[in-house]
Chain A
Amino acid sequence: ETGVTQTPRHLVMGMTNKKSLKCEQHLGHNAMYWYKQSAKKPLELMFVYNFKEQTENNSVPSRFSPECPNSSHLFLHLHTLQPEDSALYLCASSQLGTSPTNEQFFGPGTRLTVL
């Protein structure tokens, strides 16, 4: 579990707040992902970064803004969220290119509650 770390582990915010989630991977991978996990729904892929370039944005509302300053760090900036955005946000990384399997390594997640 220490291969991918996420902070904070828990976050409670009001709808007018601005906050950021942080993810760091210590595995030397070149791709990083943000997922949203809500109760009774499949894991939803939000963003993919491959070599620091965003390659996927699965119709995520603009109130979620990702940032990938380097291949080890990934942020998710949050502003004017809605209560339905409350969920577990998971970060993952993988090594693309040399490994064709896309096995992903997950962080422990940030439990977000929007009041």
Chain B
Amino acid sequence: SQQGEEDPQALSIQEGENATMNCSYKTSINNLQWYRQNSGRGLVHLILIRSNEREKHSGRLRVTLDTSKKSSSLLITASRAADTASYFCATDASSGAGSYQLTFGKGTKLSVIP
């Protein structure tokens, strides 16, 4: 069954505003990762948060993780037109017994209007 579920499916904001995307998942995880995908291209890793961490920052990105609610959020501050892309959360629930899978959600499509 699908592990990660992003919300909203689409988000349109003005340049300079903040964008918040949410991700919910179903099982226990080792870590949760956020990826970005420009249209028709490969995914690019943005940030990783481990299950024992609650918040992490990287430049204009802020990620939170609430394991009790099985949810994460990605905040992009002071958005730019170049931030226009799809954003995916991926959960790593690897058991360590030879299974190394990331499970991706459907993504949030972010449009930043100049």
A contact set with B: CB distance below 8 Å: 1, 4, 6, 31, 40-43, 45, 48, 50, 55-56, 88, 90, 92, 94, 96, 100-109, 111
Q: Is the Cβ of A109 less than 8 Å from the Cβ of B105?
A: no
Residues of B within 8 A of A (CB): 2, 4, 30-31, 33, 35, 40-45, 48, 50, 88, 90, 92, 94, 98-107
Give A50's nearest chain B residue, CB to CB: B100
Can you name 9 A-B residue pairings with CB atoms under 8 Å?
Answer: A4-B42, A6-B42, A41-B106, A42-B4, A48-B101, A55-B98, A55-B100, A96-B100, A107-B42
CA distance A111 to B107 in the complex (A): 19
CA distance A64 to B93 in the complex (A): 26
Give A14 to B105 CA distance when docked, in angstroms: 31
Q: How far is the CA of A18 from the CA of B4 in the complex (A)?
A: 34
